[in-house]
Amino acid sequence: MAITTSSAVRLVRLLVGMFFRRVGVAGTNHVPETGGGILIAWHPNGLVDPALIVSTFPRQVVFGARHGLFKWPIVGQVMRALGTVPIYRAVDLKDADDEARRNANRKSLDALAQAVCEGRFAALFPEGVSHDAPFLQELKTGAARLYYRAKQLSHQGGVQPVIIPVGLHYDDKTSFRSDALVEFHAPIELTPELDAPIPDDDDEMLRARSSELTVELEPILQEVTHATESWELNRLMGRVRSLMRAERAKRAGANLKAPDMAERTLGMARVWRAYHARVKTDPEAVEALLDKVAAYDSALREVKLDDDDLDKPPPIESKWIPLLLGLQAAVVFLVFPPVLVLGLLINVGPYFLTNLASKLAARQYKDTATVKLLAGMILFPLTWLTFALLVGLGQIQVHESFAGIPRAPWAAGVTTFLIGALGGALALVYLELVDRTWTSIKIRAKRKWGATIIEQLSQERAVLFEALEDISQGLDLPGRLRDDGRISATPGFALDRDDMP
């Protein structure tokens, strides 16, 4: 039975909702209500990247994807239902000559351009390959060529296409039940020279203009993805974001909850822009400050605490606190597990098999989440059905052995299936509760017996805060600082081409 487009979108949303704990969406107000366009994003997480875009974009979207993916079971069917257009890469068509491959890609380009002219959005990953680097790979000209081809077709009637950069941000891109954020930015405003029409038969001008536009797209994608030269620099930027928020909250006397992905990403955008602005004007000062941040980061990680853990309330304010904490730990670690034992037993097998499959089948780290998603989509429901069948057959045997027990294999099987599905979901909630409880115990213990270290780290954070505030003075940074230390989006904020590094 063929999968419809709406069914494919619902399936993708279901899978995304199962894999991620929370998926934030920002910037949908930037998407025009009419006309088509092109979405461009970096590609750090295999098939999960397009799945996030499909499940969050407010309008119909089609993709261009390498043709080999259409051969994958289930994945190929879903891609066809979504209107995905095959892209033919030279590395995948070793037996085909260049002319045949160019002709095939020309047809794919026209199909995507036609979809844009009909009012849909085509999503492309200009890097052409998924990867694990914290920076962009070399951009291909495909997205630019698509834009100009869509403009050529739109001259025959229709709304001019737009290009919308998409930021894909992951808390931990391979971890089950982590967080993600999809951020749609304002359409790019091109210069009159880049936006000028190209005659249909002028291939030389098309190639030249596509290269020029690709050069313009690269710094824009760098900013929306917060691309950095190394994971070490990326981590230090994250530490700057975290320490600034924690210190602002302390000085405001606010007790903030952990930031969501939207606030974290906006905070990272501020740090990213400040870094690239100041590294141009005073690189030595920036390097010296990063060295101090690295030392603070190392010390904080050594005691296994985060920035805001330094400001938790004193652990022994009342004689009842240890008792209450002990009761919480007893409930979490002793009472809940027996209640969830059936769900855990049913799901422990597919959980470990999914992780094993990701280690064996994922050629690179960036494929891990994709393999987990696809393997889990098959293994978990199959396990629930298997247990349901076994319990149903077992119920029949019990009925035949003990006449007083009614024959109800369907009820037993359905109940077992529901225990497997719901028990697995409850187990995830329980594990998150365990993590929070253990963190609470750990922080209170360290504040009681490591007060001197925590005080030193608090002082270091304050000094770094002042230095970071000084170096960012006079910069136009995204977001609005709240009195309690949080950062909120500035209405109407868009990427400024003059601020691109």
User: What residue type is 4 in one-letter code?
Assistant: T
Whether the CB-CB separation of 22 and 260 falls below 8 Å is answered with yes
What secondary structure does DSSP assign to 225-238, as a single string? HT--S-HHHHHHHH
Question: If you search the block for the tokens 């670690």, which residue do you land on?
Answer: 333
* 232-237 mean pLDDT: 94
Confidence of residue 18 (pLDDT cuts 50, 70, 90): confident
46-85 burial, b if ≥16 CB within 10 A, otherwise e? bbbbbbbbbbbbeebbbbbbebebeeeeebebbbebbbbb
- Taking the whole predicted model, whether its pTM rises above 0.75 is answered as yes
| Dihedral pair phi/psi, residue 442, rounded to 5° | -65, -45
* 275-284 mean pLDDT: 94
* 229-237 mean pLDDT: 94
Tell which wins on pLDDT, 106 or 277. Answer: 277
pLDDT of residue 444: 63
* 329-341 mean pLDDT: 56
Tell which wins on pLDDT, 129 or 330. Answer: 129
* 387-394 mean pLDDT: 90
Number of Cβ within a 10 Å radius of residue 92: 14
Tell which wins on pLDDT, 480 or 333. Answer: 480
pLDDT digits (tens, 9 = 90+) for 204-225: 898 999 999 999 999 999 999 9
20 by Cβ neighbours in 10 Å (0-12 / 13-18 / 19+) ranks as: buried
- Quick check: 161 pLDDT over 70? yes
* 310-339 mean pLDDT: 54
Nearest to 275 by CA among 220, 217, 229: 229
* 257-274 mean pLDDT: 92
* 16-37 mean pLDDT: 91
CA–CA separation, 63 and 112 (whole Å): 8
* 23-37 mean pLDDT: 92
Q: Which helix (H) or strand (E) holds 333?
A: none
CA–CA separation, 460 and 305 (whole Å): 14
pLDDT digits (tens, 9 = 90+) for 115-160: 999 899 999 999 988 899 999 999 999 899 999 999 888 765 567 8
Q: Which pair of structure tokens corresponds to residue 348?
A: 């422990």
Domains of the chain: 5-225 (3.40.1130.10), 229-311 (no CATH), 320-452 (no CATH)
Average pLDDT of the chain is 83
Share of the chain above pLDDT 90, in %: 41
- Quick check: 481 pLDDT over 80? yes
List the single range of 233-242, 374-383, 464-473, 492-501 with lowest mean pLDDT: 492-501
What would you report as the CA-atom Rg of the chain, rounded to the nearest whole angstrom? 27
Pairing verdict, β 179-184 and 162-170: antiparallel
37 alpha carbon, distance to own chain's centre: 22
Confidence of residue 495 (pLDDT cuts 50, 70, 90): very low
pLDDT of residue 316: 42
List the single range of 89-103, 143-157, 266-280 with lowest mean pLDDT: 89-103
458 by Cβ neighbours in 10 Å (0-12 / 13-18 / 19+) ranks as: middle
pLDDT of residue 336: 55
| Dihedral pair phi/psi, residue 450, rounded to 5° | -130, 40
Question: If you search the block for the tokens 């941000």, which residue do you land on?
Answer: 169
* 263-283 mean pLDDT: 94
* 476-498 mean pLDDT: 72
pLDDT of residue 126: 93
Contacts of 315 (CB under 8 A, 6+ apart): 321, 443, 444, 445, 447, 448
Q: Could you give the angle at the alpha carbon of 296 between the alpha carbons of 291 and 301, nearest 5°? A: 125
List the single range of 140-149, 254-263, 358-367 with lowest mean pLDDT: 358-367
Q: Which helix (H) or strand (E) holds 182?
A: strand 179-184
CA–CA separation, 412 and 123 (whole Å): 46
Whether the CB-CB separation of 184 and 166 falls below 8 Å is answered with yes
| Dihedral pair phi/psi, residue 356, rounded to 5° | -65, -45
- Quick check: 243 pLDDT over 90? yes
pLDDT digits (tens, 9 = 90+) for 164-179: 999 999 998 888 888 9
Whether the CB-CB separation of 158 and 117 falls below 8 Å is answered with yes
- Quick check: 317 pLDDT over 50? no
